[in-house]
Amino acid sequence: MKILVTGANGLLGKEIIAVKRSGFEIVGADHLELDVTNLASIKKALLKEQPDTVMNCAAMINMDKCEEDPKLCFGVNRDGVSNLLQALKEIGKPTAFVQISSSEVFGRINEGEYKIDGYIENDEPKPVVNYQKSKAEAEKIVTEFARQNPEILPRSYILRAAWLYGQGRKTFVENFLADLQQPKELSVIAAQWRSPTWTKYFVAQLFLLLEKKPSGIYHSVAEVLPGEATTPQVIEEISKFLGPEKVKATLKEVSRAGFFKVPRSPSNVLKNTKLPKLLYWRDMLQEYLKENY
């Protein structure tokens, strides 16, 4: 199976194209090689590579910038998906399609709306801000296109990610590692729940989809117990790894409203009910830290 990965220079794209797996040929395309906002650029790349599967990792993920520039946000995150599917239709070669989506589609930013313990695959998205809306609308586009064009998209997957970390670029893990070793005060939000997940494990689930699973919506996340994993708890795990002699920072808990310019969802926890369970998030994070630092 030949796989074409869009957004190949991103955190997840880099992890995918680094995979060495029997039976798969993986080709990455960055923004210069395949611009999802440009139909001609997409068709050129598809005709050149003739992939059996397209994995769309191209995305605008900075939530503040998505609010500042909604045209670009929706142009990449929503319309870019439409462009990819339109190009596949015009070329006419049956192709599997994987859309990387986000826990952010569930929205629910107000008190009393969100689920601290997380969302299952068929819970209803309720996006509020531009990034959330663009990713949720992209999911609908893929689902509807697959329904109307089964001869073009014989298999289609929406795989939602949560709080990813990995070696593709600096993430919250690297930032906390560095900050904790400085004698300064760190502002952290206690009332926010996440599913921190290593890209290595996320990508393993991605290939499992292609090999064994029917079309549909899936969640690929580390296991999180009810009421976990808050930012202070993530910092706690990183502090354990560093050891008390290296931790010099102090923590100051702040509110979400005082920390973020654009409102964030209090809970980004995803429940995985359809794929094999991954490691518990604390164990996964410790494994990542020991392997890489």
The pLDDT value recorded for residue 281 is: 98
The pLDDT value recorded for residue 156 is: 97
For residue 259, is pLDDT > 90? no
Higher pLDDT, 260 or 257: 260
Whole-structure pTM over 0.85, yes or no?
yes
Q: Among the residues of the chain, which ranges form H helices?
A: 11-17, 39-49, 63-68, 70-77, 79-91, 130-148, 172-180, 199-212, 231-242, 256-259, 281-292
pLDDT in tens, 2-40: 999 999 999 999 999 999 888 899 999 999 999 999 999
- What percent of the chain has pLDDT above 90? 91
Domain span at 86: 2-292
CA angle, corner 67, sides to 62 and 69, nearest 5? 90
- Structural domains counted in the chain: 1
Please give the mean pLDDT across all residues of the chain: 95
- CATH number of the domain to which 70 belongs: 3.40.50.720
